[in-house]
Amino acid sequence: MKNKKLISIMMTIITILLIIITTGIISNTVIMEEVRKSSIHQIAKSSNQLNDEYIENASQNSQNLAQENNEAQLINTQNIQELRTESLYDNETISSRSGVERQDEIVEDEEIHIKLQETEEQDYQEIIQYTKIEDVKISFDMDVSKTTGLSKEDFIYLVQNMKYDKTGILEKNAGWIWECCKKYSVNEIFVLGICGIESGWCSASQHQNTHNYSSLMSHGKLISYASDEAGFEAMIKLLGQKYLTPGASLYHGATITGVGQCYCNTTTWPKKVYTCMQQVFQ
């Protein structure tokens, strides 16, 4: 009986020990698994941190390298430019081959431009052949809607040497008269002849006060203009657009007599105008 009891106790103790050992083994296994998982997590975290640091450092190094490369290129460019400049202006003499080529191109372009200008001027001079003063022909039945063909300079010279321009008004405005006649297609000598007969070669005070040397009237009075230029242009424009343009309201032929039919009269005015036109060349 005692032996059975002892064996039972021992079996109980053994069972308890087995339970304790098993529990310990299980606990250790659980703990080791936790430790393993924790270690793996830590290792992964550390690896990620190391990877991020590596990427960041690599990016920074790349940026630094790119900046250093740009600075180096800039320095090289400046050095090259300085060398080119030195070679280009060494002792005030162009010695750089590229500089010489560029200089030759500039000179060549300038020469071409000058030649083109000269060619254009020559062509222009060839197209416009001005009439000489001694070649200007006038007649009583001439077409006064055509200019003389004189150059502006020659017309001014002609007026400057007119002995009937006592006031100098025609000489002062000769260039402007020429421009207006060219613009409105009116003969310049015809305009001078009208001024000669209408205002006594611009000497009448009432004509001087109104800057109206062709007797343009409105309501029985001389029209007043702000300046000589305005007065001459008004006269020449009226002649060109109303008297000398076919189909215009005052057109009766582009002759002195045709203009006289509406401008003044056809009895004496045309002959008097023509006489003044002849005096221009005296």
pLDDT digits (tens, 9 = 90+) for 198-211: 999 999 999 999 99
pLDDT of amino acid 8 = 74
In the predicted structure, residue 253 carries a pLDDT above the cut 60: yes
Residues in the chain: 282
Give the whole-angstrom CA distance, residue 25 versus residue 27. Answer: 5
All residues at 6 or more sequence positions from 135 whose CB lies less than 8 Å from its CB, including other chains: none
- Classify burial at 65, counting beta carbons within 10 Å of its beta carbon; exposed 0-12, middle 13-18, buried 19 or more: exposed
The 3-state DSSP composition of the chain as helix, strand, coil percent (nearest 5) reads 70, 0, 25
pLDDT one-digit tens code per residue, 92-116:
443 334 444 555 555 566 666 666 6
All residues at 6 or more sequence positions from 191 whose CB lies less than 8 Å from its CB, including other chains: 177, 181, 232, 235, 236, 239
Question: Please, are residues 259 and 143 in contact by the beta-carbon 8 Å criterion?
Answer: no
pLDDT one-digit tens code per residue, 52-88:
665 566 556 556 655 665 565 555 545 545 544 444 4
